[in-house]
Amino acid sequence: MSPIRTCCRDRCQEPAVATMTYGYREATGVLGPLSPVPQPGALDLCKHHAETVTVPVGWNMIRLVTEFDDAPPSPDDLLALADAIRETSKRDVPPPQPAQREIRRPRTDVSPGPRTRPRFAVIDGGHSEDETATE
């Protein structure tokens, strides 16, 4: 069973084991154990990314934990997921509506009068009468 919280790094699907927060005023990054609930602005990281993460040049890094244990899914996470599924299944599904097709054209697209065929003129291809007689 896959854990609910995963690493926030692009293309990483590993389970999150640490949370990193930033103190912008103090120019400090703080890396600690996984927070109990996701925090806005905090980064959940897997074991690999928690060990290799860096902060901008000139900032301080505080690591509250140096070894990160893999976090198993907690019963609270599983219960929250089960409750969410249960609530969703109780909702009434609206009946399907038939599709409606309407074609709307701007008024300038429709000519006001009856349609007439354009008149075509025959243009001489540049042959003189002497050349056409010899062919």
pLDDT per position as a tens digit, 46-70? 999 999 999 999 999 999 876 776 6
Question: Quick check: 24 pLDDT over 80?
Answer: yes
* Ranges of each domain in the chain: 1-68
**Other Cβ atoms within 10 Å of 46 Cβ, number:** 21
Q: pTM of the entire structure?
A: 0.49
What percent of the chain is modeled with pLDDT above 90? 29
Terminal-residue alpha carbon distance, the chain: 87
Question: Quick check: 132 pLDDT over 70?
Answer: no
Cβ-count burial of 79 within 10 angstroms (0-12 exposed, 13-18 middle, 19+ buried)? exposed
What's the pLDDT tens digit per position in 92-130?
877 888 877 777 766 665 556 666 677 777 777 766 665
Give residue 3's pLDDT.
47
φ, ψ of residue 111 in degrees (nearest 5): -75, 145
**What is the pLDDT of the chain when averaged over all its residues?**
79
Of the two residues 85 and 69, the one the predictor is more confident about is 85
